[in-house]
C-alpha cells in the first residue's frame, strides 16, 4: 500500500516557544496541504484550527519542516483547489483528522504570579497539543512510535 508523509511545522521564535503544527502535504504539490494546529495562548486558551490548501511558500515566516511519519494514503484526503480554507470549527474529512479532533485544544494554563500553588504549573500550548495528537495517531495505528520520538526531540524555540 502506498504511503505519504506527515510533517511537523515549526515556526521558530528566539524569545518565545515556537509554534507547532501538523502538516499533511499533497503528494503532487508538497508545499501545499492541510495544516492542523492549536491556535491561541496559554493565557486565553487555544482552539483547534484546520487550514486546508495551506501554502507554505506564501507564508512569510521562516519554517522548519520535520518528517513525523509516513502513513497509508487511505488516511489522508487532499482537498480540491488552491484557495486556502481556514476551518475554526473543524469537521474531519479523513481518518487523520478524525483522530486529531479527539484531542481537545488546551484551555488557559498560565497561572497568575499572585496565585499560590505548591507545584509548578504545566503549560499546555500548541507544542503540548501536537504531542498529544501524535500519541492519539499512534494509538489509532495511523503512525508508528517513531513519530512521538520526533515530536519529543523537536526544537521548542
Cβ neighbours of 112 (radius 10 Å): 6
CA distance 114 to 100: 35
Q: Is residue 99 part of a domain?
A: yes
CA distance 117 to 12: 31
Q: Is residue 88 part of a domain?
A: yes
Cβ neighbours of 1 (radius 10 Å): 5
Poorest-pLDDT segment among 34-38, 58-62, 132-136, 150-154:
58-62
Q: Is residue 157 part of a domain?
A: no
- Look at residue 118 in the predicted model and tell me its pLDDT: 57
Domain that holds residue 8: 3-152
pTM, entire model: 0.91
- Look at residue 16 in the predicted model and tell me its pLDDT: 86
Cβ neighbours of 2 (radius 10 Å): 8
The average pLDDT across 85-114 equals: 88
Q: Is the pLDDT of residue 76 over 60?
A: yes
99 versus 123: which is more confidently predicted?
A: 99
Buried b (16+ CB within 10 A) or exposed e, 38-65: bbbebeeebbbbbbbbbebeeeeeebee
Q: Is residue 137 part of a domain?
A: yes
Between the CA of residue 74 and those of 2, 108, 138, 143, what are the distances in Å? 8, 35, 16, 12
DSSP state of 47: E
- Look at residue 122 in the predicted model and tell me its pLDDT: 77
> What are the DSSP calls for 87-113, one per residue?
ESS----SHHHHHHTTSPPP---PPPT
Tell me the pLDDT band of 155, cut-offs 50, 70 and 90: very high
- Look at residue 55 in the predicted model and tell me its pLDDT: 96
Q: Is residue 41 part of a domain?
A: yes
* Cell matching residue 13: 521564535
Q: Is residue 79 part of a domain?
A: yes
Calculate ∠ Cα 110-54-155, nearest 5°.
45
Q: Is residue 30 part of a domain?
A: yes
Domain count, the chain: 1
Q: Is residue 15 part of a domain?
A: yes
Amino acid at each position: 500500500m502506498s504511503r505519504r508523509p506527515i510533517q511537523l511545522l515549526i515556526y521558530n521564535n528566539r524569545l518565545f516557544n515556537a509554534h507547532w503544527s501538523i502538516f499533511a502535504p499533497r503528494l503532487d504539490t508538497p508545499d501545499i496541504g492541510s495544516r492542523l494546529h492549536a491556535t491561541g495562548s496559554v493565557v486565553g486558551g487555544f482552539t483547534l484550527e484546520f487550514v486546508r490548501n495551506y501554502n507554505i511558500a506564501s507564508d512569510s515566516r521562516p519554517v522548519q519542516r520535520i518528517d513525523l511519519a509516513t502513513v497509508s494514503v487511505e488516511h489522508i484526503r487532499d482537498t480540491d483547489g488552491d484557495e486556502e480554507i481556514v476551518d475554526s470549527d473543524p469537521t474531519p474529512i479523513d481518518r487523520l483528522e478524525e483522530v486529531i479532533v479527539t484531542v481537545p485544544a488546551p484551555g488557559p494554563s498560565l497561572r497568575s504570579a499572585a496565585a499560590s500553588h505548591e507545584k509548578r504549573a504545566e503549560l499546555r500550548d500548541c507544542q503540548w497539543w501536537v504531542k498529544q495528537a501524535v500519541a492519539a495517531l499512534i494509538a489509532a495505528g495511523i503512525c508508528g512510535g517513531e513519530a512521538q520520538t520526533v515530536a519529543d526531540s523537536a526544537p521548542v524555540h
